[in-house]
Amino acid sequence: MKRKWFYRSAMLAVAVAATAFVYAPYLPRLLWEGYPSALWPAPGSYAPLAGGTGDSLPAPAQSFMPNEQLAGLFGGAGGRAILAAHDGKIVMEHHAPGVARETRLNSYSLAKSLIGALTLKAIAEGRIPSREAALGTLLPELSNTGTGDLPLCRILDMRSDIQFEPGGKKQASGLDVKDLEATKLNLFGPMARLHMQGLKSVEDRLVTLDRDASSIDETCDGGSYSYQNVNTALVGEVLERAYGKPLQEVLSEKIWMPAGAAPAEWRRYGHDLPVTPYCCIYARPLDWLLVAQYLLDNGKPGQPFLPEPLWRELLGLDLAGPTLHAGHYANFVYHNVLDRPGEQLQGPFAYFFGSRGQAVYLMPRERLAVVRFGDGVQLLHSTLYEVARSISAAAATAREMDK
């Protein structure tokens, strides 16, 4: 009796496994790769991201260490690296034990913000008509769908209303943000399929809340904010079509190499498939500081990255105070403001944000860029305040020693 039960159970298990494999042929690879690793090397398929020498930012005579408060924030949230540049020079570069300057770390969703920057670049170059262009004119296969009627801006601002993988959300700086990389993944759901097989495998999921195209709000302000990786996947496809080349080549040519960032690796959906636009560039934190400085400066002297109005839009420089205070999101970039009474550092800032607290801060008015990598979310505003305090205190000490 027990033997018969064992054989039946074994046959059932084999049948279930076979059915699962037929429905989800990517399953063995997904189980092998697991959650995207924080450090390089990592399992999976990758495309090289061509770069430069990786050392184009000058260092001052003294590089300042985090103060006690910043060190506490950093260590308490599993920090791996924190770097800062002020006035175009590296003023802080601190790594946790076991992490060195050459260690490549996973960007997670920091990659999204570069997709937003590249989209504005494509608009500036006339490769995309505008943020208001209908998605179906850029991806003709969607031209007869409600999603195709949406303006590109609704995708860029995470307001597409695409019902892709509904689920719980969490609060982050006044915005409802669903951290999909950290969400328990449904192995048979659309996000798993997208992550392993690419955009074409989930085209049947690209529907909006309202299937009646005639009643879809086609303005940039329409829709409800919902953080969905598929939005960035769609824009990545738009960029590849607009430039007629793989996305990693577009990023390398337009941002990564001009910034002087070193060669990196970018995760693919699979072998010989495109890179995943929403995640997983393995690069040094220093490379992200170089990219941040490049965007902060709007390119190089005489070679602006964007026309002034688009650059200001990318960094949210013309947003009203109440909008910034509430938290704002557009072009895959977050915008906020430092307005705590009594603090020396004040004003708007833009930031890129990735799963588990990866962050890139940009404060053009203060000529300040900060990069933070780690294994947990570090307090958003306090990080900037303490970076500024660390720099000021160390500079004051250095001046006293020089007397």
Side chain identity, residue 19: T
pLDDT of 20 higher than 70: no
Mean pLDDT, rounded, of the chain: 88
Is the confidence at residue 317, as pLDDT, over 90?
yes
329's tokens: 């999101």
List, in sequence order, every beta strand (DSSP E) within 156-291.
170-172, 175-177, 264-267, 281-283
Average pLDDT of span 159-171: 67
Higher pLDDT, 250 or 20: 250
Between residues 209 and 305, which one has the greater pLDDT?
A: 305
Round to whole Å and give the CA distance between 87 and 258.
18
Angle at 29 between CA 36 and CA 12, to 5 degrees: 125
Question: What burial class does residue 342 get, using C-beta atoms within 10 Å of its C-beta: 0-12 exposed, 13-18 middle, 19+ buried?
Answer: exposed
Question: Strand order of the sheet with strand 46-49?
Answer: 46-49, 264-267, 281-283, 105-106
pLDDT at 182: 41
pTM exceeds 0.85, yes or no: yes
- pLDDT tens digits for 71-92? 999 999 999 999 999 999 999 9
CATH 3.90.1170.20 fits 46-402, yes or no: no
Q: Give the model's pLDDT for residue 14.
A: 41
Closest C-alpha among 380, 385, 393 to residue 345 = 385
Which string of DSSP letters, residue by residue, matches 137-159? Answer: HHSGGGTTSTTTTSBHHHHHTT-
CB-CB contact of 195 with 237 (8 Å): no
188 and 24 Cβ atoms separated by less than 8 Å: yes
Q: Residue 210's pLDDT is what?
A: 54
Strands 328-330 and 333-338: antiparallel
What pLDDT, on a 0 to 100 scale, did the predictor assign at position 243? 98
Is residue 289 within 8 Å of residue 371, measured between CB atoms?
yes
Question: Residue 120: how many CB atoms within 10 A of its CB?
Answer: 22
Phi, psi dihedral angles at 300 (to 5 degrees): -110, 160
The more confidently predicted of residues 119 and 17 is 119
Partners of residue 105 on adjacent β-strands: 39, 283
CA dihedral 156, 159, 164, 166 (to 10 degrees): 130
- Whether 15 shows a pLDDT value over 90: the answer reads no
| Residue-wise pLDDT tens digits, 238-248 | 999 999 999 99
So what's the pLDDT on residue 397?
66
Confidence band for 180, pLDDT divided at 50, 70 and 90: very low
What pLDDT was estimated at residue 79?
Answer: 98
Q: Return the biggest CA–CA distance within the chain.
A: 91
User: What are the structural domain ranges in the chain?
Assistant: 46-402
What is the DSSP-derived secondary structure letter of residue 268? B
Phi, psi values for residue 81, rounded to 5°: -160, 140
Residue 150's pLDDT is 94
